[in-house]
């Protein structure tokens, strides 16, 4: 505890405490500071300490403790109002609103007492000459909380009709309550329109737009404005997350997740705030929180997760079903206490309705992955009814139809036949086809079944299909990494089918099926060779594969119009040739062939076979710089594949389209597809790999739209998932880089610096050091904005050394200039802190200025010594030098201390003027492009001339500015401002000429 604290030290300590995070630690410190205030024997000190204590209690989980300091303050006011200064008088009346409305959230306080305090507030406001606006707003809060809707409507009308004065809540808070009332009355669109100025940042305060963002979630969902709802959740939750007092808004976010298929995220939110289950300082917000906990836990139980462990009150473990029962009971008990106090059933009814809500959206991807998986329980699959009579024939007919049309669901259809068959009999042909499709469904594990299917085709008298099935079996060997064995296995079916086809013993479709199997195996060998050695035109394996594909095309293409399967084989032959062209580095030929193949599949009514090649085509088109073709192919792949692909395939297609759109600057649609990609990757069990990459991309797309808060949430969530071995160092660095950009825009400079420094630590290991230098420079800027001058100076020094080693004179100069400003600022601050010490503060400031001069001089020399490669580079150096002289002059002029004598001041101003004059000359040589920079320097020089008592020179500089802007557009704000400043300078100096 502080000892010997004077009043000013006490005030600083209270301000520092108020800036700490909300919570018990801040409250405890406020109590200590009140004890210190009482030692001073200064009534105003006690008044300020009591006010501080009341404020921190109000913005914490101990809201019920604010009534005691308020009662003491009110007694002190009634006894000695002269002890209160103007600010504390205002504060006392201001917090009357907190106390009067806060009582309604405490069920132990009788309604009569609340009405008495409301009357007391009205009386005191009238005596103080305040409008009744704040009184009517508080009355509205009381009435709506007890369910007296008629009175609430009257108070609402009176509130809006009353004049705004100093006691009215800020615009943001008023609009929040007004919008809440409209939403409560079923006017969601009106509510959102009322909230618009808050959401757009026109009106803000310490707790807005936090609360408005939370309140807007359900209205947006009800109106079907899902993208906005998602954005408000991401943006709003980030704001309320660190604020202990906003349990009600936090509950709104949990509720939103429970109603949008994001139960796993809702559980994470519960886990972050275990104290919210039990903190009793504000029973109303605890009741609201427990109501949405019950909603979530009931939802989980209904989905079959009742036995899953979930976060709950400390002291024991909880399953979802246990938590549901506990939270419901606790919420209703609290509601019952309020209703008993209010004499109505309103609160209980409201709580029940909230707990019993049904989901508003089945699935709303958020772009953040929950680390707490909600794992679906294993449920027994009901046994199918025995297929008797017409059921089996119907299943057979459907299976034959699907397999004849080469439909992706044919494997499932034949599995249904097998399941329904039981002990029944099928013809050898049907049994062969059923076994064949079962093998297809097993992939590399179906080799033996393919052999059995071939035997069954032989028994059915179809030797050609038997050979085709053997070829399929050989291909799955290749897929399992046994391509050499596969090639040997396919050689006999290949030779036999050609002989059989030549004799007329089988048709084109069977021969083509064998040839396609062989060509696939050879293509697989090309891909394996490329992975091992790299592919090149003329390689033996490449030539063999191309020969096989052309042989297939020559066989199938003439008959493609007569048989669907043959058409598919011809199209695949084109696709194979395209892929081989890509391996041979002929991208244009590859794109042409893949386009032809995809179009052939679609024309044949087989769009699902086009997906793989459309996806490859999209990548090739991007490589060739054909953005339109890339987008067209990516969209076609998604359209054709979406109905049939597994979740991971869906993710890949969405991500490819996202990257294609992002490459052309369409970041909004790109973000939509990256969001879908992240969702499908999670669904497919690839959340930590493919999903993390999709979220990384999503964060970048959101950032490029200026959606800083949303981007920050997504990037913060993905950072723990990114792994250098899986995603690469570059992805980790880029994510931290983007996060630093976002946090800077959000004003969180210290956190931005941390991410940039950690990214720089990774980048320092890279051979190319430009990113390392840039990240160090950005970190230095952020540290400076955060007030960490010493750390910023070190970071700038590091960045400067890196820029120098890279030969980047512009980066070096900017780092040197920034260091100079930091040195001067640090010495002035240190001088002020040590003003009462025996050290000579003036000597210290002089030493600091000398160090800053040397840094600026080094920057000037570096600029002058640089050798530009061309006229453009020379112009950039002239610009850099002019800016350096301008900053040099400003730095010297601003270094004048308050106690400097006239001669010292004059010397510094003349030194500053010399540098700024050089800046003017530099900018003048650059012409119109540097006009604003030149006039700004000209005016700075004019002000110095005036201070040095050279009115004629000052006036001349003012006229130069006015002349420079003659004929320029008055709509340009800079032009208008510079003209006005020049005219003021002219008026101030001309009479003295």
Catalogue the long-range contacts made by 179-184 (C-beta closer than 8 Å, 24 or more residues apart). Answer: 179/212, 179/215, 179/216, 180/215, 181/140, 181/144, 181/152, 181/156, 183/215, 183/218, 183/219, 184/144
Q: What is the pLDDT of residues 468-518, one digit of tens each?
A: 999 999 999 998 889 899 999 999 999 999 999 999 999 999 999 999 999
Position 370 scores a pLDDT of 65
Q: How confident is the model at residue 902 (pLDDT cuts 50, 70, 90)?
A: confident
Q: Which of 327-331, 441-445, 978-982 has the lowest mean pLDDT?
A: 441-445
Closest CA to 852 of 821, 806, 807: 821
Question: Using one digit for the tens of pLDDT, what is the confidence trace for 200-245?
Answer: 999 999 899 999 999 999 999 999 999 999 999 999 999 999 999 9
Evaluate whether 615 touches 649 at the Cβ level (below 8 Å): no
Q: Is the pLDDT of residue 760 over 70?
A: yes
Yes or no: say if 694 and 658 are a contact pair by the CB < 8 Å rule.
yes
Residue 930 and residue 919 in contact, taking contact as beta carbons nearer than 8 Å = no
Question: pLDDT tens across 435-474, in order?
Answer: 999 999 998 888 899 999 999 999 999 999 999 999 999 9
pLDDT band at 738 (very low <50, low <70, confident <90, very high): very high
Q: What is the pLDDT of residue 970?
A: 76
Chain centroid offset of residue 422 CA: 53
Tokens of 433: 């086809």
> DSSP alpha helices (H): ranges in 895-930?
902-925
Q: What is the pLDDT of residues 8-30, one digit of tens each?
A: 999 999 999 999 999 899 999 99
What 3-state class would DSSP assign to 720? coil
Q: From the centroid of its chain, how far is CA 149?
A: 40
Residues 145, 341: contact at Cβ < 8 Å?
no
Q: Which residue has the tokens 């594949």?
A: 641
Pair 363, 261: CB distance under 8 Å: yes
Contact 480, 499 (CB under 8 A): no
Q: Would you state the pLDDT for residue 380?
A: 35
Instruction: Answer yes or no: is pLDDT of 836 > 50.
Output: no
Q: What gap in Å lies between CA 841 and CA 835, rounded to an integer?
A: 6
Tell me how far apart the alpha carbons of residues 197 and 213 are, in angstroms, rounded to a whole number.
12
Statement: residue 887 has pLDDT above 50: yes
Helices (H), 129-262: 133-146, 149-161, 171-184, 188-199, 210-215, 217-222, 226-240, 247-258
| Peptide linkage before 209 cis (omega within 30 of 0) | yes
The set of residues, in sequence order, having a beta carbon less than 8 Å from that of 249 and lying 6+ positions away, is 210, 211, 213, 214, 215, 236, 240
pLDDT for residue 794 is more than 70? yes
CB 959 within 8 Å of CB 916: no
Torsion over CA of 852, 857, 859 and 865, rounded to 10 degrees? -170
DSSP reduced 3-state for 280: coil
Cα–Cα distance measured from residue 361 to residue 453, given in angstroms and rounded to the nearest whole number: 46
- In percent, how much of the chain has pLDDT > 90? 82
| pLDDT of 307 over the 50 cut | yes
Averaged pLDDT for residues 254-264: 96
**Which long-range contacts (C-beta less than 8 Å, at least 24 apart) are formed by 954-963?**
954/985, 954/988, 954/989, 955/985, 955/986, 955/989, 955/990, 955/993, 957/985, 958/982, 958/983, 958/985, 958/986, 958/989, 959/986, 961/935, 962/986
Query: How much is the average pLDDT of 616-629?
Result: 92
Residue 829: pLDDT band (50, 70, 90) is: low
Tell me: pLDDT of 376 over 50: no
Residue 845's pLDDT is 62
Rounded distance, CA 477 to CA 521, Å? 9
| % of the chain at pLDDT higher than 70 | 94
Distance CA(346)–CA(352), nearest Å, equals 10
Q: Does an H or E element contain 49, and which?
A: helix 43-58
Q: According to the model, what pLDDT value does residue 698 have?
A: 97
Q: In terms of pLDDT, which residue wins out, 558 or 847?
A: 558
pLDDT recorded at residue 644? 87
Residue 5 above 90 pLDDT? no
Is the pLDDT reported for residue 826 higher than 80? no
């Amino acid at each position: 505890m502080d000892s010997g604290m004077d009043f000013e030290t006490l005030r600083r300590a209270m301000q520092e405490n108020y800036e700490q995070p909300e919570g018990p630690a801040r409250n405890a410190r406020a109590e200590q500071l009140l004890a210190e205030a009482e030692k001073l024997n200064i009534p105003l000190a006690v008044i300020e300490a009591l006010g501080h204590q009341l404020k921190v209690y109000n913005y914490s989980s101990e809201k019920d403790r604010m009534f005691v300091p308020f009662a003491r303050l009110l007694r002190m006011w009634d006894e000695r109002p002269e002890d209160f200064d103007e600010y504390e008088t205002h504060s006392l009346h201001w917090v009357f609103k907190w106390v009067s409305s806060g009582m309604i959230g405490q069920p132990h306080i009788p309604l009569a007492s609340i009405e008495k305090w409301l009357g007391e507030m009205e009386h005191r406001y009238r005596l103080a000459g305040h409008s009744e606006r704040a009184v009517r707003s508080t009355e509205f809060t009381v009435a709506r909380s007890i369910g007296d809707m008629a009175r609430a409507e009257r108070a609402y009308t009176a509130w809006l009709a009353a004049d705004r004065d100093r006691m009215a809540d800020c615009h943001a808070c008023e609009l929040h309550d007004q919008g809440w009332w409209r939403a409560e009355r079923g006017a969601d669109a009106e509510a959102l329109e009322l909230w618009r100025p808050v959401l757009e940042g026109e009106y803000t305060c310490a707790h807005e737009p936090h609360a408005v963002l939370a309140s807007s979630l359900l209205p947006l969902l009800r109106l079907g404005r899902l993208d906005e709802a998602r954005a408000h959740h991401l943006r709003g939750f980030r704001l309320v997350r660190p604020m202990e007092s906003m349990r009600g808004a936090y509950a709104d976010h949990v509720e939103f997740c429970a109603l949008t298929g994001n139960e796993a995220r809702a559980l994470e939110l519960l886990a972050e705030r275990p104290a919210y289950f039990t903190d009793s300082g504000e029973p109303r917000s605890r009741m609201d929180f427990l109501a949405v906990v019950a909603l979530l836990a009931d939802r989980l139980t209904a989905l079959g997760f009742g036995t899953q462990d979930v976060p709950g009150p400390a002291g024991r473990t909880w399953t979802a079903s246990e938590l549901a029962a506990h939270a419901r009971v606790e919420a209703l008990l609290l509601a019952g206490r309020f209703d008993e106090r209010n004499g109505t059933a309103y609160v209980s009814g409201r709580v029940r309705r909230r707990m019993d809500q049904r989901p508003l959206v089945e699935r709303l991807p958020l772009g953040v992955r929950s680390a707490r998986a909600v794992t679906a329980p294993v449920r027994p699959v009901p046994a199918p009814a025995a297929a008797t009579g017409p059921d089996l024939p119907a299943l057979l007919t459907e299976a034959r139809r699907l397999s004849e049309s080469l439909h992706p669901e044919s494997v499932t259809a034949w599995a249904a036949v097998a399941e329904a068959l039981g002990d029944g009999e099928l013809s050898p042909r049907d049994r062969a086809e059923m076994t064949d499709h079962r093998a297809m469904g097993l992939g590399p594990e179906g080799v033996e079944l393919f052999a059995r299917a071939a035997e069954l085709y032989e028994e059915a008298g179809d030797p050609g299909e038997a050979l085709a099935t053997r070829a399929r079996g050989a291909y799955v060997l290749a897929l399992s990494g046994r391509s050499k064995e596969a090639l040997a296995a396919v050689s006999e079916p290949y030779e036999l089918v050609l002989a059989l086809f030549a004799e007329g013993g089988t048709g084109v479709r069977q021969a083509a099926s064998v040839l396609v199997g062989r060509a696939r195996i050879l293509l697989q060998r090309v891909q394996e060779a490329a992975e091992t050695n790299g592919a090149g035109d003329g390689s033996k394996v490449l030539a063999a594969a191309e020969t096989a594909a052309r042989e297939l095309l020559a066989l199938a293409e003439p008959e493609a119009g007569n048989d669907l399967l043959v058409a598919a084989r011809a199209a695949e032959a084109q696709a194979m040739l395209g892929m081989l062209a890509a391996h041979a580095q002929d991208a244009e030929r590859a794109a042409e062939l893949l386009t032809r193949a995809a179009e052939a599949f679609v024309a044949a009514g087989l769009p699902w076979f086009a997906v793989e090649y459309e996806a490859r085509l999209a990548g090739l088109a991007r490589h060739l710089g054909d953005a339109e073709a890339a987008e067209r192919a990516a969209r076609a792949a998604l359209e054709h594949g979406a109905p049939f692909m597994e979740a991971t395939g869906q993710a890949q297609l969405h991500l490819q389209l996202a990257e294609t759109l992002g490459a052309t600057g369409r970041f909004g649609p790109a973000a939509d597809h990256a969001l879908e990609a992240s969702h499908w990757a999670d669904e497919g069990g690839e959340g930590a790999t493919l999903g993390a990459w999709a979220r990384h991309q999503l964060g970048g797309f959101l950032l490029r739209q200026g959606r800083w808060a949303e981007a920050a949430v997504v990037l913060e969530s993905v950072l723990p998932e990114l792994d250098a071995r899986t995603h690469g160092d570059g992805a980790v660095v880029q994510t931290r880089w983007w996060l630093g950009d976002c946090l800077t825009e959000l004003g969180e400079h210290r956190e931005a610096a941390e991410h940039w420094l950690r990214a720089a630590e990774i980048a320092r290991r890279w051979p190319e050091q430009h990113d390392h230098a840039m990240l160090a420079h950005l970190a230095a800027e952020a540290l400076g904005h955060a007030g960490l001058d010493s750390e910023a100076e070190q970071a700038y020094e590091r960045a400067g050394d890196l820029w120098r080693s890279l030969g980047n004179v512009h980066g070096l100069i900017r780092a040197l200039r920034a260091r100079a400003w930091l040195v001067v600022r640090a010495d002035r601050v240190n001088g002020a802190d040590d003003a009462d010490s025996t050290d000579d503060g003036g000597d210290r400031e002089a030493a600091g200025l000398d160090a800053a001069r040397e840094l600026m001089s080094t920057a000037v020399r570096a600029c002058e010594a640089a050798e530009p490669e061309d006229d453009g580079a020379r112009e950039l150096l002239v610009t850099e030098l002019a800016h350096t002289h301008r900053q040099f002059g400003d730095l010297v002029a601003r270094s004048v201390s308050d106690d400097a004598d006239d001669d010292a001041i004059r010397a510094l101003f003349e030194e500053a003027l010399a540098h700024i004059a050089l800046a003017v000359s530099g900018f003048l040589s650059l012409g119109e492009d540097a006009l604003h920079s030149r006039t700004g320097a000209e005016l700075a020089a004019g002000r110095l001339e005036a201070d040095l008592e050279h009115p004629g020179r000052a006036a001349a500089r003012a006229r130069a500015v006015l002349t420079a802007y003659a004929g320029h557009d008055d709509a340009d704000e800079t032009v208008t401002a510079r003209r006005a400043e020049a005219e003021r300078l002219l008026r101030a100096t001309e009479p003295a000429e």
